[in-house]
Amino acid sequence: MATSRVTIGLLLPLQRNFIVDASAEKISVFEGVNFVGRGNITMPDKRVSRKHISLHGSSDGVVELVVEGPNPVIFKSGNQRRKLSSQEKLFIDDGDILELIPGNHFFKYVKASGEHASSSGRDLVFSDKAQKQADKDALVCDRNHQLLQDEALARTLQNLEDNRLLEVSPPVVSKSWSSCPTSDAVKVSSNSMEAVHQFNVSKDCLSLVFRLMRVQGLPKWANECTVAINDVIEGNILVAILSNYMVDIDWLKTACPKLWQIPHVLIVHGESGNRVDHLQKKKPVNWVLHKPSLPISYGTHHSKAMLLVYETGVRIIIHSANLIHVDWNNKTQGLWMQDFPYKNVKNLSESSFFERDLIEYINTLKWPGLNVNLPKLGDVNINASFFKKFDYSSSAVRLIASVPGYHSGPNLKKWGHMKMRTVLEECEFDKEFSKSPLVYQFSSLGSLDERWMSEFGASMSAGISHDNFPLGSGKPVIVWPTVEDVRCSLEGYAAGSAIPSPQKNVEKEFLKKYWSKWKADHLGRCRAMPHIKSYTRHSGQNLAWFLLTSANLSKAAWGALQKNNSQLMIRSYELGVLFLPSVMKGNLSQFSCTGNGDMKQMSTKDSKTKLVTLCWNGEPDSSSEIIIRLPVPYQLPAQPYSPEDVPWSWDRLYAKKDIHGEVWP
């Protein structure tokens, strides 16, 4: 039977001058759990979640606030002002003010006096059974809404392709397209297609490169040699460990039904609040969920990787996409993958840089061990030590990881940008890379200052030339979408929600000298907004090195030096792979967990390995030079912003309609 609820207070909507907005509806706060979100604000704002905050009210009128949505909330009490991130909590009391989005949607909490406390029949709450059904209906509604948006987008793009609007011939564009700049979706050059055709990499060489993920609605040539989730989660997998930030279990079930056939699955995630509850309810019984500890506030588990155990070996996948539909279908993303066999009895004690870095990183996650029975091995515990059983000597990359904590002493150079600095310091590069530019490309910008940019740049500039001189500091450029890029993208302004940097971070004066355009005509991805994170040093189309990672440009992801540079403070977990010509030298054994188990030897010991972009049109210096082409998704050299270009920030108002006729927010 339904029970009544006691009103213990009100949330009064405020105008920007903090005067009560009499035209807006007050929100009753009841004893028990209350949710406040998108349905409670007068102005539509996609940044506000349906259950943006929860208020846990007690009989004395004091309320515990929990941030349920992914976006921060501002709390103000007297002279105190504090930003709360997802899943942070605090108590609010009479007179406290909340901003559901920083600078937007103001509410003042006012306690109800004793005589105003209400338990009227109008304030009925659901019974437990009805409440569970309501929660379920809300999740289904939310999921269906997302599917409808995705399906509508796919239909629109398919219609455009069917009408040959994606051909080389001059397009007939609708009014909503006509105000957008000419882009690769409607203008394809033969040089662009040639660049992609040069990336037909044989299976034996795939571990030497990364690949882009398939994007719905692009012409066929732009999706050559790309991957989808079913291309990598394949074969007879015995154990799967999926590491990520966001996990949409409903999408996974349709996108990758193979996962439901795997006997043991561990999800290492960064979800919180209701999304964890939903995961717990919907997951199969053989799935285990684990969220690594976050010892420092404002951190996240952000690493994106897969460890797939087969009877013959293990597949390591490191990529840049959340496990959600839009990330695997609508964004520019990158993925690296390599299979490794079990060690033979002769080399059980041998290890490599890749193995040591991998085991050390897995150890920090402290996931619950999985006790499984594997062919030939019997009962084993799938923990960090288990992964010492594989032979990583053929690895063609170095791992660059971040883990939260205050790292000093021998740990100072193990993580974050100091790990990057340490690895680069051990490498020799061609003299052409002396003082050559650095490129930072990512999808979220932290709150930065010039001092940290110099610190970070020193790490990225490390290394020596073949004549034993330091390469010297490179001038950094930041590749970042403009407002027009987002407006005219495949998703329109909605793509901006995955480029979640606020105006206060983006529009700092000192950053203006770094801004460079997102241009990806050569890969047909100007309108597929980047969620990929990459960093490189280049001279023309030649690459000194290239990093594919989950790490955005922030102190939280890369760490910041403290205590006279003796300590590195990192907030988040991140993981990436660094492509280096020097690492690719040697006997590279190519092995496939889903093939016949044969080992193929590629000897590069006496060869010079050269990293280049797809737009490189040179010739090898000698017959022994091996050219490795990487599908760098943006054009180099990066083109600086024009005076008219405005960098995207997600908390500004954009009244000019996007490709779908929407404004933002």
- Which residues does the annotation mark as catalytic? 302, 531
Token pair listed for 443: 């999808």
Instruction: Give the residue from 552, 604, 600, 611 showing the smallest Cα distance to 578.
Output: 611
Q: Are 358 and 387 in contact (CB under 8 A)?
A: yes
Q: Give the C-alpha separation, 631 to 414, whole Å.
A: 28
Q: Give the C-alpha separation, 273 to 259, whole Å.
A: 24
Q: Give the C-alpha separation, 397 to 305, whole Å.
A: 15
Radius of gyration of the chain (CA): 26
Q: Are 498 and 492 in contact (CB under 8 A)?
A: no
User: What residues does 474 pair with on adjacent strands?
Assistant: none
Q: Are 219 and 188 in contact (CB under 8 A)?
A: yes
Measured in residues, the chain has a length of 665
Cα of 632 vs its chain's centroid, Å: 17
Q: Give the C-alpha separation, 582 to 423, whole Å.
A: 11
291 is in an annotated binding site: no
Dmax over Cα atoms in the chain, in whole Å? 90
Helix (H, G, I), strand (E, B) or coil at 456: helix
Q: What is the DSSP letter of 489?
A: S
Q: Using alpha carbons only, what angle is made at residue 569 by residues 76 and 82, rounded to the nearest 5 degrees?
A: 0
Q: Give the C-alpha separation, 59 to 16, whole Å.
A: 31
Cα of 549 vs its chain's centroid, Å: 9
Q: Give the C-alpha separation, 569 to 563, whole Å.
A: 10
- For 37-164, strand residue ranges (E) read 53-57, 63-67, 73-77, 80-84, 89-92, 97-101, 104-111, 124-125
366 is in an annotated binding site: no
> Phi and psi (nearest 5°) for 492?
65, -155
Binding site membership for substrate: which residues?
304, 533
